[in-house]
Amino acid sequence: MRGPHNIWRLIRTGATFERTGAMGAVLDAMEAPRPLRVAARVLGWPFKWLGYPGDPAMPPITRALTALGPAYIKFGQVLSTRPDVVGQELADQLRVLQDRLPPFTVEDAKATIRAELDVEPDATFESFGEPVAAASLAQVHQARLATTGERVAVKVLRPGIERAFRRDIDAFYFAARVVELLSPASRRLKPMDVIGHFESVVLGELDLRLESAAASEFAANTKDDPGFQVPRIVWPLSGRRVMTLGWAEGVPLGDNAALDAAGHDRRALSERVLQLFLRHALRDGYFHGDMHQGNMKVAPNGDIIAYDFGIMGYIDPYTRRVYAEILYGFIRRDYLRVAEVHFEAGYVPPDRDVHEFARALRSVGEPIFGMDATRISMGRLLAYLFEVTEKFGMETRTELILLQRTMVVVEGVARSLDPRMNIWEVARPVVEDYIQESIGPRAVVRDLRETARVLTRFGPRLPGLVESALIRQADPPKDPEPPRRWQPALWAGLGAAAGAAAVLSLGLL
């Protein structure tokens, strides 16, 4: 489906932006130069009549994105938490994309429940209300269980959403391919891989069984985190297109006036939301990947309640350490160490100069220290970082896309609560705690124990591996092949196995 016919979809995208008046708003938000504005208008005007009209009652950007479909709406959701990039007025317009889109009917929701769970909704629920939130892929109803009277939230996928999303993502793939063909310099950013990653994430959102499992795991990981709650999953009433979980009672995190009226400390909330994200990413390697204001509430006791677990991120232990060391280096303003970590992790080609890279990082980091958030232009900072990465040949790390994006979103949420928050000072205690736990004598012992556990599982196979290696060394084949890299690795593994045996004998396990 990723053929030239998608040109039509892209033409209609530009035409929709022109027809709804969104083109001018986007150019204003991006502070586009006059030549680009003139070119956009000259090229867009003839096709204006091809665009979708959208809902005239909505602001231009919101009108265009909702008319274009779910993938575009997802993009708008991210921008809604970046008032420093797109401006406060545009961010306020985009915020309605989070949970206030036009809903589908209660009858359609009940039909989905009936087909998916094989139950009769009117008998299963004592009450089943109108939708309380309608997002790009699903909507949520407040209901009450007939058996216990417990209040629950019932999430139901939009009818036909799978097909609509496939249409959008195919156009994105086509656009990424065109960009790669027309701009070879863009290939280092791996636009096709980026779209592939985005596709896999959203496809996960379209199976609510996976979201239910994610919520359950996330709740188990965070059950002892002070000031944080995750609603429980009602498994018998959850399936592929329906998910039921406990009701989250509280004030929306994006409603500052309501938070103030309820007596909540917005400064404390801003710090906590950032620290919670960092703690989950570093400590657990499993974090909420869509932490915008529409997915969090503040309970009457001040706890932050998270919900909507369709996008969750995972990073392996090694990547966590790399990420933490980079953050820690920036916090300590040790730019040489930050540069060395990039080289050690393979993020920068080894033929580049580490000291030159460190100086480039210093030029990015130094201006932000000692400033409050109101004096930092995150848009300019990100633009300069892009220039630095391009200069040093860094490629897009697809495994870090969600982590980086979520960090931007969470920082935007924290800033909306307290515009003067200093992200580095707030992040310092969490990162320092992780560094102490993951890099040091205790971490070495823990790594040795884990290595020993893994190697012991291969214990029954070690004699055969040793015998095969010795036979090969004593009787090489008649047509000897070039030395293989696996042979040193094998002997290193055998040495590690011996070390593991020593660890076991010392009783460290």
Choice among 290, 308, 334, 418 that is catalytic? 290
Look up the pTM and report it: 0.71
290 catalytic per annotation: yes
**What residues contact 4, with CB distance under 8 A and at least 6 apart?**
174
Distance CA 400, CA 384 (A): 19
* Per-residue buried b or exposed e for 375-401, using 16+ beta carbons within 10 Å of the residue's own CB: ebebbebeeeeeeebeebebebbeebb
Extract the tokens encoding 179: 């960009």
Q: Is 197 left (phi over 0), alpha (psi -120 to 50) or beta?
A: alpha
Q: DSSP 3-state assignment of 195?
A: helix
CB under 8 Å to 107, separation ≥6 — which residues?
none
E-assigned strand segments in 373-432: none
Cα angle at 105 between 204 and 53, to 5 degrees? 80
Q: What is the pLDDT of residue 383?
A: 53
Strand, coil or helix: 270: helix
pLDDT in tens, the chain (509 residues): 555 667 777 778 878 888 888 877 776 765 655 665 666 666 566 777 788 888 888 888 888 888 887 778 877 776 665 555 566 667 667 766 756 677 999 999 999 999 999 999 999 999 999 999 888 889 999 999 999 999 999 999 999 888 888 888 888 788 777 767 766 655 665 778 767 767 877 787 889 999 999 999 999 999 999 999 999 999 999 999 999 999 999 999 989 999 999 999 999 999 999 999 999 998 999 999 888 888 899 999 999 999 989 888 888 888 888 878 877 887 788 889 988 988 888 888 888 899 998 998 888 778 766 565 556 555 455 555 556 766 777 765 655 667 777 877 888 888 889 988 877 788 888 888 887 777 666 666 777 777 777 767 766 776 777 777 777 766 665 555 554 444 444 444 434 434 433 333 333 33
Determine the pLDDT at residue 224.
Answer: 94
Phi, psi of 61, deg, nearest 5: -65, -45
Q: How far apart are the first and last CA of the chain?
A: 54
Q: Report the sign of the C-alpha dihedral through residues 42, 43, 47, 53, in that order.
A: negative
